[in-house]
Structure 1
Amino acid sequence: MSTIKEEIHALSEEMLTNLGKLVAIDSQLAPAKEGMPFGEGPAKALEMGLQIAQELGFKTVNLDNYCGYAEMGEGEEIVGIAGHLDIVPVGGDWTYDPFVLTRKGDYVYGRGTTDDKGPVIEALYAMKLLRDSGVKLNKRVRLIMGCNEETGSKCMKHYNEVAEELSCGFTPDANFPCIHGEKGHMSMMAYSKNTKIISMNGGFVSNAVCDNCTTVIPAEARLKEKLEAAFSQTKLQEYKVTEENGTLTIYAKGVPAHASTPALGINAAGVTCQCLEEAGFEDDFVKFYNSHIGTDCDGSGVGLKFADEYGDLTFCNGIVKTQDGVISCTIDIRVPVTLKADQVREMCQGRLEDENGRIEIGTIGNPLFFPRESPLVNALYKAYVDVTGDTENKPMVIGGGTYAKSLKNIIAFGPEKLGIDYHIHGADEFILVSGMEEAVLVYMEAIKNLLAI
C-alpha cells in the first residue's frame, strides 16, 4: 500500500491543478439558457470536468448539460460514483478569493473544494489509479458529475430518465466512515401578520444558518442602550446599533453552519429577536418568532421536538426577508429516519399560526435508510477501515441530503473526516491535501470492494 500512497502523493500537484480549474468556475445556479438548464456556470463546470476526465483517458458522455459521466470497464452492471459540480452562493467574509484555489500548507481554500468539486477529483483519480494498476474490471465504473445538487437535484432526475440504473455505488459528498441513512427534509415558510419592524433582512441560502441580519425599527426612548446591553450578553461575532432620523439600525453577525447541524452556528436573526424582546421592544412578529422559531434549533416552538436512535430533528432559519411590509423566514428541517410525513404534520397541527404570525408547510421529503448489515454498507465501511485503521467511528445517519436520495443503490461515503469543520456553505471553505490523498486511496479500495459484490 505504501507504493500506492507514493503514487498518489506524486499526483497531488496534478490533482490540485485540475481542482483549481473547477474552482475557478462560478457554478452557482443561474437562469437557464438554451442547452444549459442550470445556467452558464454549471454547464462550463461540467464541460471542464468531462475535459479533465477525457485527458485522463476516460470515455465521457454529456447528458444535455444536466449531468455527465466518465466511465471505464466493461459489463452490464455499473458501479456508480455520483458527485456534483454546482456550488452554493459565496456568502460570508472570505479571507481568500473563493474562485482562486489558494494553498496554505496542508490547507487549500476555495468554494467547492470539499463540496463537491474536490471529491469529484478524488474519485476520478481513484479510478485512474485503479485502471492503471491493472485491476480486473468485471463491471463498468461510472463517475457521474451533476450540476444541480444544491438546488433540487433535477440533474439526477434527468439521469434516471435517460441513462442506466446503477448496480451499487456511493456519492462522495458527506462524511467518513460511512452514511447508511439520511434524514428526511422538510421546508416551511414563516410570515409576519403585524409588525412595527421597518425591515429585517439576513441570510443568503435556506440550507444554512442565518449568519448575518440587518434590522431597522422605530427608535424609542432608551431603546438603543437597552439593546446594546442585551446584545453584549450574546455570542454574536459582531453587533452594532446605530440611531438616525428616528430609527434604529441593528446589524448582527452570527456564526454560519449547515442546516443539518444548525446548533453549531449562531442565528443572527434569532438573536436579534431575542434581544429585541429583552430590551422591551413590543412587537407581534418578535413574539411570534421567539415563541415559534427561536434559537433552540429543535422545532419545540411548533411541536416538532423529536429524537430517535439515529438522531434529533433539527430546525434552521436560513433567510429572513422583508417585502411589502411582510417579514418572511425560510425554515429548513431535517426529520429523523423513523418519522413519516403524516406523523410530522400531525405533530405540528394547530401550532403553526396565531394572531401574530403564521407558518406554512412546504415540501416533505422521505428519509433514506440502509441497514447497517447490508452488503453495500459493509463494502464501503471495510474500505475506510482497511485504509485508515479507524474502528472507533461507525456508519451513521446524517441530517444532510445527498444524491443517495435521487439514485438507486448508492449511499454517501466521505470524504469529510469527523471533527473537522471544512466551512462547507461558509466562508473560506477548504480541503486538506493530506485528506485528499487518503480519500483517493479509500475510494480505490471502495471501488474494488463494490466490484466484488
Structure 2
Amino acid sequence: MKEKIHALTEEMLENMGRLVAIDSQLGTPEEGKPFGEGPAKALEEGLKIAEELGFKTVNLDNYCGYAEMGEGEEIIGIAGHLDIVPVGGDWNYDPFKLTRDGDYVYGRGTTDDKGPVIEALYAMKLLRDSGIKMNKRVRLIMGCNEENGSKCMEHYNEVAEELSCGFTPDASYPCIHGEKGHMAMMAYSKNTKIISMNGGFVSNAVCDTCTTVIPSEAGLKEKLEKTFAETKLQEYKLTEENGEISIYAKGVPAHASTPTLGVNAAGVTCECLEKAGFEDDFVKFYNTHIGTACDGAGVGLKIADQYGDLTFCNGIVKTEDGVISCTIDIRVPVTLKAEDVRKMCEDKLEDENGRIEILEIGDPLFYPRESPLVNALYKAYVDVTGDTENEPMVIGGGTYAKSLKNIIAFGPEKVGMDYRIHGADEFILVSEMEETVLIYMEAIKNLLAI
C-alpha cells in the first residue's frame, strides 16, 4: 500500500496546491456566503476535487460541505477545515503558492488544515478502490469557520445527520482524548490613578506588549528602573515628561493554552509598580486576583486533575473612559464541570478595588483512555508508526471535536515538531503526508469494525 500512496504523491500535492492558492480567511458575509468569498471558494474547490475522485458531494449552504462513500445508517465522520488564519509574519515563500523544497512543502493551510483534508480524502479513495466492504458511510466534512468560532459545525448539526464516530485531522498524534473546558472572564478597575494602560492583541494569547502611563511621583522613575531591570521582559522603556511616566514593556508571546511559556507584559508592569511603591487600587487588584502565575490562584481556581492544570491567561488590557479592562482566558481541567468551576470562584471575583465578570464557561470534552473510539484510532497510529512511547493525550486547545458528537482529534502533527501552523512558512512534510494517508486508512478500517 505504501507504493500505491507514493504513486499518488504528486497528485495529492497538486490538489493541495489548488486549496492553498485560495485565500480563505474569514471575509465579509454576503448573501449565500456566511463567511465571505474566500471560504466559499475554498469549499467549492474542495468539493470539486472530491467529485473528480468519484465521491458524492453535498454543499450545506457554504457553511460546510461533505464528500461521502459507503452505505448504511451509521456515519464515520472526518471533520477538517478549509478556512485559514491571516498570513502575518515574514514569509520566505508565497503563502498562497504551494512550494516544495525536498521533503518540505510550504504554504498557508498545508498543516492547518487543507493538507489534512486532502490526506483524509485520499485515505478514503484508496480504501474504496481496494474494494473493502463498508457497513457504514464514511463522510469527510469540510468546514469553513473553524478558526473563528466553528459556526460551520453549528449549521451542520442543524441540517445534517449526527456522526456515529470519527475524528478531526486538526491536532496531534497519537490522538487527543480530552480537550480542556474554556472559560472567559473580564476584569474591570473601580478606582485607579493609572492614566492609561493598553496592551495585547487577542484574548487567547498572553499579553506580550503593554504601554502604561501613570502620574509622576518624586523618585518613582528611578525605583521603577530598578524593579524593571530584574524582570524577564525582553525589553522595557521608561520616559518621564509633563508630570507623567510612560512605561513600555515587551514580554514573550504564548498561546492561552500554555501561558506559562510566555511573559505577560501587563502583569510584570503591575508587579513592578507595586514593588516600586506606586500605590493604586487597580494595581493591587490585578496583583491579587490576576497576577503572573497563570494558575488562577487569585480567584480560587488553582486546580488540577490527573490530565493537567487549570491555566489562566490575561490577553488584552485596555483603558476606556478611565476604566481599565482585562480579558481572561481560562482552560479548565477535563474532569471538572462548568458549575463546579463557577462555585469555586464566584465569591472571589470582587473587592473594593475591582471586579471580574464571568462571560462564559464551556464544558470540557473527555473520552476515557480505554473507550472504543480512542482505542481504534490509537491502534491505527501504533500499527503504522510502531511508536508506543507517545500516549493519547489531553490538550488545552479546542477542535471540531467540541462541536460534533462522537469524534476526537487525531493527527496529523507529530509531537514535538513545530509546523508553524499560525506563523510564517507553515509547512507539511511529504514523508509524513504519505504516512498519514496510511494511518487514516487504518483508522477508518478500525472504525468500521466498532
Change in 2 beyond 3 A, CA 1:96/1:278: farther
Counterpart CA distance in 2 for 1:47 and 1:135 is: 29
Q: Gaps (5+ residues) in structure 1?
A: none
Contact 1:189/1:360, CA 8 A, preserved across alignment: yes
% identical equivalent positions: 86
Contact 2:335/2:366, CA 8 A, preserved across alignment: no
Counterpart CA distance in 2 for 1:13 and 1:54 is: 18
Tell me what 2:287 maps to.
290
Tell me what 2:41 maps to.
44
Contact 1:91/1:204, CA 8 A, preserved across alignment: no
- Which residue among 206, 211, 214 is the counterpart of 1:214? 211
Contact 1:258/1:424, CA 8 A, preserved across alignment: no
Q: Gaps (5+ residues) in structure 2?
A: none
Tell me what 2:180 maps to.
183
Tell me what 1:332 maps to.
329
Change in 2 beyond 3 A, CA 1:266/1:51: farther
- Which residue among 343, 352, 370 is the counterpart of 1:373? 370
Tell me what 1:118 maps to.
115
Q: 1:213-247: CA deviations, max 9, x gaps?
A: 33344455555554454444333344444556554
Map 1:298-317; keep pairs closer than 5 Å.
298-317=295-314
Instruction: Tell me the CA shift for residue 100 of structure 1.
Output: 4.9
- Give 3-state SS (helix, strand or coil) of 2:282's partner: helix
Counterpart CA distance in 2 for 1:122 and 1:387 is: 15
Instruction: Tell me the CA shift for residue 124 of structure 1.
Output: 1.9
Q: Which has the larger radius of gyration?
A: 2
Tell me what 1:171 maps to.
168
Letter in 2 for 1:365: G
TM-score by length of 2: 0.90
Contact 1:260/1:399, CA 8 A, preserved across alignment: yes
Counterpart CA distance in 2 for 1:228 and 1:325 is: 26
Tell me what 1:82 maps to.
79
Tell me what 1:19 maps to.
16
Change in 2 beyond 3 A, CA 1:433/1:325: farther
- Give 3-state SS (helix, strand or coil) of 1:82's partner: strand
- Give 3-state SS (helix, strand or coil) of 2:58's partner: strand
Change in 2 beyond 3 A, CA 1:12/1:320: farther
Tell me what 2:394 maps to.
397
Tell me what 2:132 maps to.
135
Contact 1:27/1:45, CA 8 A, preserved across alignment: yes
Q: 1:282-321: CA deviations, max 9, x gaps?
A: 3332222222112211111111011111211111222223
- Give 3-state SS (helix, strand or coil) of 1:376's partner: helix
Counterpart CA distance in 2 for 1:211 and 1:178 is: 31
Map 1:39-438; keep pairs closer than 5 Å.
39-90=36-87, 98-101=95-98, 105-220=102-217, 223-243=220-240, 247-426=244-423, 428-438=425-435
Deviation larger for 136-145 or 245-254: 245-254
Deviation larger for 163-172 or 126-135: 126-135
Letter in 1 for 2:381: Y
- Give 3-state SS (helix, strand or coil) of 1:177's partner: coil
Letter in 2 for 1:52: I
Contact 2:200/2:206, CA 8 A, preserved across alignment: yes
Counterpart CA distance in 1 for 2:255 and 2:51 is: 34
Counterpart CA distance in 1 for 2:100 and 2:218 is: 51
Instruction: Tell me the CA shift for residue 447 of structure 1.
Output: 1.0
Change in 2 beyond 3 A, CA 1:290/1:92: farther
TM-score by length of 1: 0.89
Deviation larger for 9-18 or 352-361: 9-18
Change in 2 beyond 3 A, CA 1:281/1:82: same
Change in 2 beyond 3 A, CA 1:350/1:127: same
Counterpart CA distance in 2 for 1:327 and 1:104 is: 48
Contact 1:189/1:330, CA 8 A, preserved across alignment: yes
Change in 2 beyond 3 A, CA 1:185/1:5: same
Change in 2 beyond 3 A, CA 1:430/1:288: farther
- Give 3-state SS (helix, strand or coil) of 1:349's partner: helix
Instruction: Tell me the CA shift for residue 85 of structure 1.
Output: 2.2
Letter in 1 for 2:137: R
Contact 1:89/1:205, CA 8 A, preserved across alignment: no
Q: 1:396-417: CA deviations, max 9, x gaps?
A: 2222222112212111111222
Instruction: Tell me the CA shift for residue 205 of structure 1.
Output: 2.6
- Give 3-state SS (helix, strand or coil) of 1:358's partner: strand
Letter in 1 for 2:350: E
Contact 2:234/2:252, CA 8 A, preserved across alignment: yes
Deviation larger for 331-340 or 281-290: 281-290
Tell me what 1:450 maps to.
447
Q: 1:308-367: CA deviations, max 9, x gaps?
A: 112111112222233333222221111112212221111112211122221100111112
Contact 1:180/1:395, CA 8 A, preserved across alignment: yes
Q: 1:255-289: CA deviations, max 9, x gaps?
A: 33322222223323323333333344433322222
Counterpart CA distance in 1 for 2:6 and 2:272 is: 52
Counterpart CA distance in 1 for 2:302 and 2:43 is: 41
